[in-house]
Amino acid sequence: MLKNSQKASNQQIQENNGDGRSIIEVVNAMGTSDGAGVRLKRSLGSPALSELDPFLLLDEFKSDQPDHYIAGFPDHPHRGFETVTYMLAGSMLHQDSVGNSGNLKAGSIQWMTAGRGIVHSEMPQQVDGLLWGFQLWVNLPADQKMCAPKYQDIEPETVPVVDNGFGLIIRVLAGSASGVTGPVKGIAVNPLFLDITMPANATFTREIEPGHSGFVYVFQGNGQFGKKATVVETAQLGVLDKVGRDLKIKTEDQAVRFLLLAGQPLGEPIARGGPFVMNTKAQVLQAFEDFRSGRFIQNS
């Protein structure tokens, strides 16, 4: 059984040795809104970076002003991909057309496979205070786009935490780190999803599966990433190259907290239309027709 927190004896954790990866592009998150007017920052799925196969979108929502989030994300459909919600503060209630429901709170993660079609909502369960979290979209391979919808509701206490005792803290949401494995299971792209906090004046090296796409998103502080020591600051996304295995991160005068994501690219055509992601335009048009006719809920 995994323990929620594990101690390591060294200030620096070295996951593996090997050739280093580099940051090849730094993207500034852009301000936008979604749902019923929730204000957010979009770094992936923006005009600057439309997708990073197999990842389609990354939004950060963070506000302590109720009018920025209170209207939430009412009922809306999806087909052909997976939505991932990771909460840092506040609470949102998920409900969907399959009958799933879950209260997302600080530290929890929800991985929903829309498959052939699902209608869901995510609504804030607070009238004031800080609401803070992320939504990630992950593509499905062509042979799984019309699978039955699935839902994983991960409670905070089931997310393992690696703590080296010197300020380096890794929350393992999917994939593995330092001998522990995250609770998200059965995802086609074999994802790595880590929430990493590093103190000032520290180094950390993390192995990433060769050939997998990867990126970091910094949401507190700044750090130097990759063998070129590229600086990535708060509300910036750094795209990793696919050369080599290891990613080296270094901090100097301030701490950093960031998401590290990687996954197996699918290498398939992508056709997007609003809440639907398929392989062809005809499939997207069919998704709109199926939703209008009520077949999403009938077939869930």
The pLDDT tens digits of the residues spanning 250-278 come to 999 999 999 999 999 999 999 999 999 99
CATH 2.60.120.10 fits 5-299, yes or no: yes
127 pLDDT above the threshold of 90: no
Helix (H) or strand (E) holding 292: helix 281-292
204 pLDDT above the threshold of 90: yes
C-alpha 152/C-alpha 145 separation (Å) is: 17
Average pLDDT over residues 151-162: 95
Tokens of 91: 């609470």
C-alpha 293/C-alpha 261 separation (Å) is: 37
Residues in the chain: 300
Average pLDDT over residues 145-171: 95
pLDDT tens, 63-121? Answer: 999 999 999 899 899 999 999 999 999 999 999 999 888 899 999 999 999 999 999 99
Q: What pLDDT does 211 receive?
A: 94
pLDDT tens, 10-44? Answer: 334 344 444 799 999 999 999 999 888 899 999 99
Instruction: Identify the band that residue 300 occupies on the pLDDT scale cut at 50, 70 and 90.
Output: low
